[in-house]
Amino acid sequence: MTSHLLRKPQSQSIGEGITLIQEVLTSDSPLDYVGFKLIDLAVGAVYEQPLEQDECCIVALTGKITVTEGEHRFEGIGTRESVFEKKPTDSVFVSGGASFTVEAVTPATVALCYSPAVEPRPTKLLPASGVGVVHRGKYNNQRMVHDILPDSDPSASSLLVVEVYTEGGNFSSYPPHKHDRDLLPEESLLEETYYHELAPKQGFVFQRVYTDDRSIDETMAVEHRNVVIVPAGYHPVGVPDGYTSYYLNVMAGPKRVWKFYNEPDHEWILNRD
């Protein structure tokens, strides 16, 4: 059966030195709020993007880039050659209605994270030094999180962006939680995309996306550079021994609050000594 939630990488030339690896649009996915692109840039390549109704977080996943929007110019940003250096990177937030360019100073991979521009916000560098690093979980449920655009940071009007590292033998986004009901303060409605990388590259992880009524229930073998779309439901990730998992989450919904709801059957996992 073809999965509607799992996207394999493509390799489509969309300009001189620009390769589109992933593209998730609201028009070709079950999502209403979240869009995502991943592009590879050769040195000197310039990607240009006019934004209309969407705001965008440009994440310098690897390599060095220069981002320009109007009079704003952020030169040579980006901190790592591989995401598996496990250090935070630089990003730039650009609001709806603006137009930006990304130029590669070195070979680079750039994540473009989109959501509706609810209110205008100034263009802003989100420097690596400002990224919160959080270690969560215990036993085989440990992960490290880089908060690039958490809900505590008002730089964006609807977008949330986070990176997560999970070592082999561990689960993350676990115990299973969801955020698919606009029911604050108990739960917020946030769609989500997962962009995955693996080290070493031939690895895979398992991700299950499922709702309480099982109208969605897919368990996917997810490989390097795949995207998993989470329109609703629980979305845990399990990482086989020997491999390290990285994923970049983009979330958005009607309210910019990350309030998740743990699946009651598995909540006991959080309450162990």
- Going by their DSSP bridges, the two strands 177-178 and 191-199 should be labelled as unpaired
Closest distance to ligand LN3RO5KU from the beta carbon of 9 (Å): 21
Name residue, tokens 């590292």: 165
Beta bridge partners of 244: 199
3-state secondary structure of 220: strand
Residue 68 or residue 158: which is nearer to ligand LN3RO5KU going by CB?
A: 158
Question: How many other CB atoms sit within 10 Å of the CB of residue 86?
Answer: 15
* Letter string b/e over residues 25-41, b meaning 16 or more CB atoms within 10 A of that residue's CB: ebeebebebbbbbbbbb
* Displacement of CA 211 from its chain's centroid (Å): 21
Q: Which two tokens stand for residue 264?
A: 């009651």
> Which of residues 84 and 260 has its CB atom nearest to ligand LN3RO5KU in the complex?
260
Least Å distance, CB 10 to ligand LN3RO5KU, is 25
Please report how close the Cβ of residue 189 comes to ligand LN3RO5KU at its closest, in angstroms. 12
Identify which of residues 67 and 131 has a Cβ nearer to ligand LN3RO5KU in the complex: 131
Closer residue to ligand LN3RO5KU (CB): 41 or 61: 61
Cβ-Cβ contacts under 8 Å for 162 (sequence gap 6 or more): 145, 146, 147, 148, 149, 150, 248, 249, 251
CB 13, min distance to ligand LN3RO5KU, A: 32
The residue (of 80 and 235) whose beta carbon lies closer to ligand LN3RO5KU is 235
The rounded distance, in Å, linking the Cα atoms of 26 and 197 is 23
Rule CB under 6 A: which residues touch ligand LN3RO5KU?
136, 143, 145, 162, 164, 172-173, 179, 192, 235, 249, 260
Nearer to ligand LN3RO5KU, 143 or 224 (CB): 143
- Least separation in angstroms between residue 76's CB and ligand LN3RO5KU is 29
Give the nearest distance from C-beta 48 to ligand LN3RO5KU in angstroms.
Answer: 30
